Structure 1
Amino acid sequence: MSYTTDKNLIQPIFFPVSLWKLALMSVCTVGLYQVYWFYGNWRLVKLRERRRLSAPWRSVLGVLFAYPLFRRISRAAGNPRGLACLAVLAFLLWVGLSLVAYAPLPWAVVSLASVIPLLPMQAVANSVNIRAVPGHISNSRIRGWNIVALVVGGPVALLNLLGFALHWAQA
């Protein structure tokens, strides 16, 4: 199930990232890392399936293309029935939590939890990657732009959470 690119490097099937890094980066970038996560997955799908699809557009329009990606991840794992339910549930929860971002403050802060439905899908994707390409890079280290996002976005995320907590304390 693994494949090679023009550089003859064995690529993972889906975007490889550790669960803790996905969660941390999603919260500290206020969800922007999720767009990057979708892009990484769609880019690998495009390469693997040799299809004409736009990974950037599918990433930005995640609400329209999340379920097809989740379905691909579930099918690649080999348990279509049980994981199909996981794909549907993850999609519905992700869309619902993502749309909360448009609610008035402080409720919009709840959208930081939109990463939670992505975690089981990433766990399945990681298991597919390990089975298909045992030596692939796991992408669990924080470096480069990740550090910038943590330094800039971390305090913003903490202030948002603090504001949400203070709102509840006053209510």
Structure 2
Amino acid sequence: MSFTTLGFYLIYWGYKNWKIMKASGRTAAWPPICGLFLPFTLFSLLDKVKDEARAAGVSTTKLTISAFGFLMLGLLKMIPVVGILFNMSSFLALIPINRAFANINAAHQQSKPEYENFTWLNFTWFAVVAAWLAFHIVREIMRVS
């Protein structure tokens, strides 16, 4: 999702997670701003998640490393030509954090959300944007070579 939305999904991801924290009463932060500035607010979010994870018996060892990896991959976008590949792959560092969220939810026996609004149009959009990005990345690499 992050790749095909040109990174905007990460803003949405941050917003939704901060919104959950605010709804649970664990923070007074404003979710839209926290989502927009996720690189600056991620460690604060993880501190709150770690407390919940420990209470649920979920491992927290990879969370800080994942957040650091997310920030480093985002900073590597400054490298000419291939930097965009690092930046677009920064979402991969958030996978352990998402797993921790899923494990916390499982420990609280919350059901998994159903994505019934995910239609063939979403898949079409992802395919079109992925092809467009691949074309431009290859074209840029060929132009530099």
Normalising by the residue count of structure 2, what TM-score does the alignment of the two structures yield? 0.79
Give distance in 1, aligned partners of 2:107 and 2:36.
29
Aligned length: 144
Instruction: Tell me the secondary structure at the aligned position of residue 62 of structure 2.
Output: helix
Give distance in 1, aligned partners of 2:54 and 2:121.
34
Q: Residues 126, 82 of structure 1: CA spacing in aligned structure 2 closer, same or farther, 3 A cutoff?
A: closer
Identity %: 17
Question: Which residue, 34, 43, 47 being the options, matches 2:23?
Answer: 47
Question: Which residue, 120, 130, 144 being the options, matches 2:96?
Answer: 120
Give distance in 1, aligned partners of 2:16 and 2:107.
19
Instruction: Tell me the secondary structure at the aligned position of residue 101 of structure 1.
Output: helix
What does 1:86-101 correspond to in 2, within 5 Å?
Answer: 86-101=62-77
Q: Residues 115, 50 of structure 1: CA spacing in aligned structure 2 closer, same or farther, 3 A cutoff?
A: closer
Instruction: Tell me the secondary structure at the aligned position of residue 14 of structure 2.
Output: helix
The one-letter code of the counterpart of 1:35 is I
Q: Deviations over 1:33-58 (max 9, x none)?
A: 11110111001111111643210100
Q: Residues 164, 71 of structure 1: CA spacing in aligned structure 2 closer, same or farther, 3 A cutoff?
A: farther
Q: CA RMSD in A?
A: 3.1
Deviation at 1:159, TM superposition (A): 2.4
| Map of 1:134 onto structure 2 | 110
Q: Is 1:33 aligned with 2:9? A: yes
Give distance in 1, aligned partners of 2:70 and 2:113.
26
Structure 1 residue ranges without an equivalent (≥5)? 1-24
Q: Is 1:150 aligned with 2:126? A: yes
Instruction: Tell me the secondary structure at the aligned position of residue 26 of structure 1.
Output: coil
Conserved 8 A contact 2:26-2:48: no
Name which of structure 1's ranges 102-111 and 124-133 shifts more when overlaid on structure 2.
Answer: 102-111
Conserved 8 A contact 2:59-2:100: no
Conserved 8 A contact 1:42-1:69: yes
Normalising by the residue count of structure 1, what TM-score does the alignment of the two structures yield? 0.69
Ranked by relative contact order (alpha carbons within 8 Å, sequence separation 6 or more), the top structure is 1
Deviation at 1:139, TM superposition (A): 4.2
Give distance in 2, aligned partners of 1:96 and 1:65.
15
